[in-house]
């Protein structure tokens, strides 16, 4: 995987993870183009598209789009399930996760992603193992975290 982007229906970037070296300018350009392309697509369209020489796999959960760029030989369907597993991990950790959780606890979203995917490859697919690593860290944390209880976007 080359990168993963999370953005809202309004096109606001909520999380970005880049697994290939790119300049800030390129990242911004890619993000802008891709957000535009994906938001322009209709709901029933397929989740894959060709974009430059990459394959884009995306899925919408409530107000958030999860969008991954993979290479030519990579498997689209399993990438779709990478997205879903990540959503499940967020959901389990935050308890009915919503966009606000990711905005205000962005660091947790990044930590969970790092446990799940590293260098663009799946590192650990077991939900238990990923969350064990994160919760261990939370035990050490001094401050209580604030979680916004809103509507869940896991369907």
Residues that bind another protein (CB under 8 A): 13, 15-16, 19, 21, 42, 44-50, 53, 73, 75-78, 80-82, 84-85, 106-107, 110-111, 114, 118-129, 133, 136-137, 140-143
Angle at 98 between CA 40 and CA 37, to 5 degrees: 15
Q: How far is CA 86 from the centre of its chain?
A: 7
Measured from the CB of residue 13, what is the shortest distance to another protein in angstroms? Answer: 7
Q: Show the DSSP H helices in the chain as ranges.
A: 24-39, 76-94, 99-104, 106-116, 127-139
Measured from the CB of residue 154, what is the shortest distance to another protein in angstroms? Answer: 11
The token pair at 59 is: 């899925």
CB atoms within 10 A of CB 60: 16
Q: Which of 100/122 has CB closer to another protein?
A: 122
Measured from the CB of residue 73, what is the shortest distance to another protein in angstroms? Answer: 7
Q: Which of 85/153 has CB closer to another protein?
A: 85
Measured from the CB of residue 108, what is the shortest distance to another protein in angstroms? Answer: 10
Q: Which of 19/148 has CB closer to another protein?
A: 19
């Amino acid at each position: 995987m080359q990168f993963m982007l999370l953005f809202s229906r309004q096109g606001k970037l909520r999380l970005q993870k880049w697994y290939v070296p790119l300049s800030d300018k390129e990242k911004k350009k890619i993000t802008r183009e891709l957000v535009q392309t994906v938001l322009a697509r209709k709901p029933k369209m397929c989740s894959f598209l060709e974009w430059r020489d990459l394959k884009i796999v995306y899925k919408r959960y409530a107000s958030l789009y999860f969008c991954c760029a993979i290479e030519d030989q990579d498997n689209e369907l399993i990438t779709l399930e990478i997205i879903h597993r990540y959503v499940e991990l967020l959901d389990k950790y935050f308890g009915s996760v919503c966009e606000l959780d990711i905005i205000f606890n962005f660091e947790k979203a990044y930590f969970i992603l790092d446990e799940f995917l590293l260098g663009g490859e799946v590192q650990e697919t077991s939900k238990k193992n990923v969350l064990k690593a994160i919760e261990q860290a939370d035990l050490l944390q001094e401050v209580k975290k604030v979680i916004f209880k809103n509507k869940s976007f896991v369907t």
